């Protein structure tokens, strides 16, 4: 399914993937071409009811594209902090709600070498290849656990 088809079918598109996969670029294109409101999710403060916060965003009316969301919380929380602040059950409930809202999870991925090149060009720095590979695997694992909860489209942005 291409991006125009996704935009025609899904009022909510959650763009997820490790740094450098093109989430922000894709979200901007969805806004420009299809009128999506783009919401970027940074790490929320400790003590925040994360599940409720993400749920409130998913409840927003209209066409929305989320540039990161609850999946990044799980992946980066686990990799950086050794634990996620969201449980697997909460993630599944959010994914089910997204599906009920008519939304889709888009898993942006790519080769670690190409992602490292992009990050160095953009930020002047890229994590070690081992870390990039761990992040890519963590995203694959989380998406695999949600296959029955919401529609998922996986796109390699480095080919």
In the chain, the domains with their CATH numbers are 3-156 (3.40.50.300)
Q: Is the pTM of this model over 0.85?
A: yes
CA angle, residues 108, 144, 38, in degrees to nearest 5: 35
Give the DSSP H/E element, type plus range, for residue 69: none
Instruction: Find out whether 27 and 65 touch, Cβ atoms under 8 Å.
Output: yes
CA angle, residues 42, 43, 47, in degrees to nearest 5: 135
Phi and psi dihedrals of 41, rounded to 5?
-105, 110
Summarised one tens digit per residue, pLDDT across range 70-111 is 999 899 888 877 888 899 899 999 999 999 999 999 999 999
What is the rounded distance in angstroms from the CA atom of residue 104 to the CA atom of residue 137?
20
């Amino acid at each position: 399914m291409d991006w125009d088809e996704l935009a025609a079918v899904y009022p909510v598109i959650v763009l997820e993937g490790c740094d450098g996969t093109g989430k922000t670029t894709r979200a901007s294109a969805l806004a420009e071409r299809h009128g999506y409101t783009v919401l970027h999710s940074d790490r929320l403060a400790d003590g925040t009811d994360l599940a409720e916060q993400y749920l409130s965003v998913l409840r927003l009316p209209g066409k929305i594209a989320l540039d990161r969301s609850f999946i990044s919380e799980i992946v980066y929380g686990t990799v950086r902090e050794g634990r996620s602040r969201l449980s697997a059950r909460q993630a599944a409930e959010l994914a089910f709600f997204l599906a009920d809202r008519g939304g889709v999870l888009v898993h942006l991925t790519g080769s670690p070498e190409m992602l490292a090149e992009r990050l160095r060009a953009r930020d002047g720095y890229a994590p070690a290849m081992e870390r990039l590979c761990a992040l890519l695997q963590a995203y694959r694992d989380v998406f695999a656990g949600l296959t029955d909860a919401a529609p998922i489209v996986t796109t390699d942005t480095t080919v």
